[in-house]
Amino acid sequence: MADPSALPLNGVLVVACEQAVAAPLATRHLADLGARVIKIERPGRGDFARDYDTVVGGLSSHFVWLNRGKESVTLDLKDPDAIAALRRILARADVFVQNFAPGAAERLGLGAAELRREHPRLVHCSISGYGSEGPYRDAKAYDLLIQAETGLVTMTGTPEQPAKAGIPAADIGAGMYAFSGILAALYERERTGEGTALEVSLFDALSEWMGFPLTYAAGAGRAPRRAGTSHPAIAPYGTFAAGDGAEIVLAIQNEREWVRFCAEVLGDEAIATDDRFATGSARLEHRDELHATIDAVFAGLGGEEVVARLGRAGIAHARQRDLVGDEGVLSHPQHTARDRWRTVGSPGGEAPALVPPIGLPGRPLRMGPIPDVGEHTDAVLSEFRKT
């Protein structure tokens, strides 16, 4: 069991008026690092992400992923008494995170200017779809819509068919920038004694993640080629099938690897100097012929033999894995060897959770239970009652 007092954010109080993915992801990372996170939810059903599905002991997989280690307090923010109670909690908070619709925090008296005027040490973080200004300020900003507006959908999928990313990329990007921004603001506060106001939008976050294709397009005057698991500027790169159906992913990125791959994996060093394949540009131009050449060799080999040859030659490669099954990511040998799976408590029983990616030697991060709706309301309101 992690000792919260040994963690970097022990003693930091975070209050979050949050729902869905981006803000809860940011605050869950803060909770993992030892912060106390009070999650404000609407009475009744609470955060609407609780209802996305019911596959984890009756709970939503999104909610289980994003909300461990938090205290749930239900408040009807249309009620002046509830706002007063929230402001009493905020008076002792270090961080306030909100992802209300644009302008809603200000209408509730919870905007950055007002709260920081009253509490200069407060770090106030607002997460929105498109930011507080501009023509898209009030537009709906679900993850898919942001993926479309930033061009990610046009970069994902096969040459014939675009696709959205299979994870909420815009939400995750915004959540991680909010998390890192809050940490930077807390560090600055240690030096200056002053908090600050942060603003993070899903659109800005995912636009930053689109940096390579946007920079390519600005320079070339055209977008990179959409190429499935292949790469618009590197070949061979992507998924290839062995004769037994095993899917192997290659990522050959320099000429030394290319020469070794031809000699030691394909068994024909002459392929490396074939005019069609002798340079990176030539391999891109003749990608179909290159793939056919590789496919012809791999068709006569089992997956284990392909992997063994790649390993002996020191060629970058991976297995293309499903999530479940003996070879799935849930049972990935790297997770197993490093003991990365835990269970956390929840209203639906024990729930699986991966150990957070930030490693502090000798100090396991806090992975607390998932709260029920309003589970901590009475205790928290009593703690922060009017005196």
From residue 354, alpha-carbon distances to 130, 192, 321, 330, 349 in Å are 31, 36, 18, 10, 16
Task: Give the C-alpha distances (Å, rounded to integers) separating 98 from 123, 133, 175.
Answer: 11, 17, 12
199 in helix, strand or coil? strand
**Quick one: residue 122, left, alpha or beta (phi over 0 = left, psi -120 to 50 = alpha)?**
beta
Count the neighbouring beta carbons within 10 Å of the beta carbon of residue 291: 16
Rounded distance between C-alpha atoms, residue 258 and residue 193, angstroms = 55
- Could you tell me the sign of the dihedral formed by the alpha carbons of 194, 195, 197, 200, in that order? positive
Question: Could you give the CA distance from residue 337 to residue 333 in angstroms, rounded to a whole number?
Answer: 6
Cβ contact 164:144 at 8 Å: yes
Give the Cα separation of 62 and 76 in Å (integer): 23
The residues annotated as belonging to the active site are 171
With residue 238 as reference, give the H or E element that holds it. strand 237-241
User: How many Cβ atoms are within 10 Å of 171's Cβ, its own excluded?
Assistant: 26
Q: Which residues pair with 318 in a beta bridge?
A: 249
Are the C-beta atoms of 200 and 178 separated by less than 8 Å? yes
Among positive and negative, which fits the CA dihedral 105, 111, 115, 120?
positive
Tokens of 16: 């979050």
